[in-house]
């Protein structure tokens, strides 16, 4: 069933585990992720970036695809269909009107006051439709969709100000993680992470999950992270398997065989991530 993220994230915060957010790119990825998470009986958040949404046709097409997969595959776990880094009220509204159960409004490129104004507009609309909202404070840099940005870390004060003025449901504070692969060891600010968690009742989100060593993921969860976003790592895992298949089978032309040759690698990496996150239903 498609649900919003409220209950599963609050439960994760209370019991100190993390819910995985996996970005989807097409029907096959959505299917593999749903099948594996259902087999392991854990909730999952399917993240859809604006560019992935355009690639797949739009929010209505994605809602229809995910909803249909849940029905046809008898998926019984809670599934959150979530916009990743929605850049405007209009984008978030489009996704909500199409049936998405959760949105991230990322107005972190603006000054805090403007971030608050845009985020509040999204929350006011989303909450009338029972849709949950994630926001970002500070700015998470790195490379995403081939665009490279620099990071600015969040402060406890800015996190509290944004929360108190918007009533968001979860918060992604920028604390040293970046999108894409890391150059060197990730340097996460666990002290501020713990402080924000102790002072905010809503769950915290860690973006840029790819490449963070296991011990730092465990520490982030212990410091109060309840949702971890993974994108690049699954792309790398799937591509490696598909490249190997094509090298071994240069005559292959059936798209189902080519795309499907990454299925097992993707599913086994998903299982490892879920075991690391200690995700529960």
Q: Contact residues for ligand 13P (CB under 6 A)?
A: 23, 84-85, 179-180, 207-210, 229-233
Smallest gap from residue 23 Cβ to ligand 13P (A): 6
Nearer to ligand 13P, 82 or 93 (CB): 82
Is residue 197 within 8 Å of residue 158, measured between CB atoms? no
Smallest gap from residue 53 Cβ to ligand 13P (A): 13
Smallest gap from residue 49 Cβ to ligand 13P (A): 7
Q: How many CA atoms lie within 13 A of 165 on its CB side?
A: 17
Instruction: Give dist(CA 86, CA 134) in Å, integer.
Output: 10
**Could you give the residue ranges of the DSSP H alpha helices within 50-111?**
50-56, 59-72, 89-98
Q: How many CA atoms lie within 13 A of 238 on its CB side?
A: 20
Active site residue 215: no
Smallest gap from residue 231 Cβ to ligand 13P (A): 3
Looking only at the bridges linking them, the beta strands covering 102-105 and 132-137 are: parallel
Cα angle 114-117-119, degrees, rounded to a multiple of 5: 105
Tokens coding 88:
């405007």
Catalytic residue numbers read: 84
């Amino acid at each position: 069933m498609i649900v919003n993220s409220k209950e599963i994230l609050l439960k994760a915060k209370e019991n100190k585990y993390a819910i995985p957010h996996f970005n989807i790119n097409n029907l096959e990825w959505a299917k593999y992720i749903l099948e594996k998470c259902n087999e392991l009986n854990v909730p999952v958040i399917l993240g859809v970036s604006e560019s992935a949404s355009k690639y797949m046709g739009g929010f209505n097409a994605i809602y229809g695809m995910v909803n249909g997969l849940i029905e046809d595959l008898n998926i019984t776990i809670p599934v959150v269909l979530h916009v990743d880094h929605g850049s405007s009220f209009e984008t978030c509204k489009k996704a909500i009107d199409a049936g998405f159960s959760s949105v991230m409004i990322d107005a972190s490129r603006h000054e805090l006051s403007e971030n608050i104004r845009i985020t509040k507009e999204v929350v006011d609309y989303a909450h009338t439709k029972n849709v949950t909202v994630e926001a970002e404070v500070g700015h998470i840099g790195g490379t995403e969709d081939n665009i490279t940005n620099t990071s600015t870390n969040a402060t406890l004060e800015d996190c509290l100000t944004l929360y108190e003025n918007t009533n968001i449901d979860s918060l992604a504070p920028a604390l040293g993680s970046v999108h894409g692969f890391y150059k060197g060891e990730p340097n996460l600010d666990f002290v501020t992470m713990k402080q924000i968690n102790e002072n905010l009742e809503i769950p915290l989100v860690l973006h840029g999950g790819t490449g963070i060593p296991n011990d730092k993921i465990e520490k982030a969860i212990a410091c109060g992270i309840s949702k971890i976003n993974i994108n690049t790592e699954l792309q790398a895992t799937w591509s490696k398997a598909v490249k190997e298949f094509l090298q071994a089978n240069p005559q292959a032309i059936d798209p189902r065989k080519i795309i499907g040759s990454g299925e097992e690698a993707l599913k086994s990496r998903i299982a490892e991530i879920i075991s690391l996150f200690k995700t529960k239903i």
